[in-house]
Structure 1
Amino acid sequence: MHDEVIDIRLLEAFAAVMSAGSITGAAKLLGRSQPVVTRQIQDLEADVGYLLFSRNGPRISPTPKGILFHAEVERLLRGLKHIRERADAIGAGALPVLSLAAIPALAAGIVPVALATVDRGLMPSQVHVQALSAENVVQSVLAQSVDFGLASLPVQHPGLDIQWVCEVPCVACLAADHPLAKKKVIRLKDLNGRRLLTMANPYRLRRRVETALERAGVAPTELIDTNASLTAIAMAKQSLGIAIVEPVLTASLQLDGVVTRRLDATIPFLFAAISPAGRELTPTVAALNDALRAAITLMPGAKLHEGAAALDDFTDHADQFESTE
């Protein structure tokens, strides 16, 4: 094991090569000569003890270890950038930089609505909003690289404070000219023999959707899954199938060519507001938290549950589905 800290310039060179796809491109991005960047990559590989890139003549491509290492380097460099911004804010006596991570649907849905309502006197000049997977939202909050997070359940971890949990029923999205668009309520049985558009992660919403369909005796003939509900909605618009998604985007964005319909069974989408354990919310983060709570009312049927105690109930009952007929 090496005790010495890796030279930040080597990490910058590595990140630049990953972004540009070549040594030449990285040199231009960094304002360094090509031989310097080449040497820095070689020095970094010698330091970590494995190849970060495979070479084929003038072409290079990241190795599997290089790809994994890049995720860590990217997180570190982003954190250093935030430290610089926070240091500048402290020096200027300004409000601290606000960093928020949320799953894509929430980052595009309720986060902009909430930010627009926060008192201008509490909004810093620098705000960072990252759209990440739920797992990465949790890791970012645990690492305290962000001040606040919004992630779909499960999120239980001793290093997190659960501010609140939101429960909202999923909806069906389909093309405006779809034969089922004339219905006010889509029955799960209406999905039998049709193509379903759903989420890819098997441990979160996807599991609840599949459980509901199984209980209704429904077997879609085809399936397209994706890691973002906006993608599922866009595919529904193109008549590629019927999407079962959380109503975050449908409630906050104008989606032409797509209609949203209630389902005849409640399939709960569950997400939590999280912050680092034991860390008091700053006035800015507290104001954002309040604004997010208010923005939740945009979603039909949304219910707010306070604190970490609600997670135990959801662990026991999240897969119980009720008929709405």
Structure 2
Amino acid sequence: MNIKALRAFRATLSGGSLAVAAEKLHLSQPAVSRLITSLEGELKLDLFDRSGRNLTPTEEGMAFYREAGRILDNLDEVPRIVAEIRAGRTQILRVIAMPRVSQALASPAVAALLQQHPDINVSLDVRARREAGEWLVGREYDIGVGALPVDHPDIHTEVLLRARPVAILPAGHPLAQHSALRAEDLAEYPVIRLMRGLLLRDQLDDIFSAVGIVPRHLCDVSSSQVACQLVAEGAGITIADQVVAANIGTDKIVTVPIIPKRWMAFGLLYPKASVATPAREAFIEQLRIQAHRLAAAFADIETVETR
């Protein structure tokens, strides 16, 4: 595939016009147009809608851009990688984290790793659960951190910790003083849920369906962090896990454990065909340390020893 054509496509889409792309790539507009046309022919995709005066990306074009953009970003990193190899800094760790654990678990572990091993070059990417498996199998990353289970034949998983689901309530809510809550207690209050297809949404639905309740809901959101923020602003209540709740850090909300007791698992993901490296093992050690810190700080989190 013509790398120059890929660059022309990306520059045109991100810049919004052939003129911007031509200036960025130091080419003429007709040259950029020919590159894009050749790429469309090779891919057998219509990347842009040319029916109007403006060049508008098609749905296929946007889907391809999301993938091609990462490929080109990696190509742009080649000179830096070569320079670091020449300088003797060859330890590179590529981490992907799911949003639910990015702040409370992955980020602190990366920070500790960098402090103790400044020779390791780390990239930390936060992606939705449905994307994480694809990127890991594609060997885009060395290790993933997220909610389990993940059912994929080419991904090995290892549990680090478990957390109980908790009700996230606005401070001053009538239920805020309870030591524990049942799904029945929440039935009359509007619930902010996650969108369908997300693991936490399935877990939340299961809590209510187990007792035959269909909760009232206000809206569906794409992440538990957003749901918690809406609760903090007084928009309703939600159910999350203690790992998410551990990092909210606001006096506007209260967390109350859900009973009967359930557990949600979190841990490591990596391609089965991958080879352990000193950088990856050092990162796993920092993840274990952070998991123990969370367990020590919150009664509704416990570590799981697998070694």
TM-score bin (small chain) = 0.7 to 0.9
Say yes or no: does 1:244 pair with 2:243.
Answer: no
Distance 1:27 1:256 in 2: 52
Moved more, 8-17 or 200-209: 200-209
Instruction: Say whether 1:154 aligns with 2:153.
Output: no
- Aligned-partner residue type, residue 185 of structure 2: D
How far does residue 272 in structure 1 lie from its aligned partner after superposition? 3.0
Corresponding position of 1:273? 268
Q: Secondary structure at the match of 1:106?
A: helix
**2:96–2:124 Cα contact (<8 Å) kept:** yes
**What is residue 96 of structure 1 aligned with on the other side?**
91
> Which of residues 67, 74, 84 is equivalent to 1:79?
74
Does 2:97 match 1:128?
no
Code of the residue aligned with 2:106 in structure 1: it is V
Residue 251 of structure 1 deviates from its aligned partner by 1.3
Change (3 A) 1:220 1:163: closer
- Change over 3 Å in CA distance of 1:208–1:26 after alignment to 2: same
After superposing on structure 2, the runs of 4+ consecutive aligned residues of structure 1 that deviate more than 6 Å are none
In the superposition, the TM-score normalised over structure 2's length comes to 0.87
Of 95-104 and 161-170, the range deviating more from structure 2: 161-170
Number of aligned residues: 303
Aligned-partner Cα distance in 2 for 1:31–1:264: 63
Which letter maps to 2:30? P
Aligned AA (1:37): V
In the alignment, structure 2 segments of 5+ residues that lack a partner are: none
User: What is the rounded CA distance, in whole Å, between the counterparts of 1:258 and 1:26 in structure 2?
Assistant: 48
Please say if residues 193 and 219 of structure 1, whose CA atoms lie closer than 8 Å, have aligned partners that are also in contact: no
> 2: distance between equivalents of 1:307 and 1:242?
35
Matched, 1:219 2:214: yes
Identity %: 27
**2:47 aligned residue:** 52
Q: Does 2:100 correspond to 1:105?
A: yes
Would the aligned equivalents of 2:190 and 2:217 in 1 still touch at CA under 8 Å? Answer: yes
Mapped contact 2:155–2:271 kept (Cα < 8 A): yes
Residue 15 (structure 2) pairs with residue 20 (structure 1): yes
TM-score in terms of structure 1 length: 0.83
How big is each residue's C-alpha offset from its partner over 1:124-180, in whole Å with a ceiling of 9 and x where there is no partner? Answer: 464211111112111111111111101323323332232435321111212223332
Partner of 2:30: 35
In the alignment, which residue of structure 2 is the partner of 1:302?
301
Matched, 1:264 2:263: no
Confirm or deny: 8 A CA contact 1:155 1:272 kept in the other structure: no
Distance (Å, rounded) in 2 between the aligned partners of 1:16 and 1:124: 34
Is residue 114–residue 295 contact of structure 1 (8 Å, CA) maintained in 2?
Answer: yes
* RMSD (Å), alpha carbons: 2.5
Determine whether 1:233 maps to 2:241. no
Aligned to 1:172: 167
SS of residue in 2 equivalent to 1:127: strand
Shift of 1:100: 0.6
Task: Indicate how the Cα distance of structure 1 residues 175 and 30 shifts in structure 2: closer, same or farther if over 3 A, else same.
Answer: farther
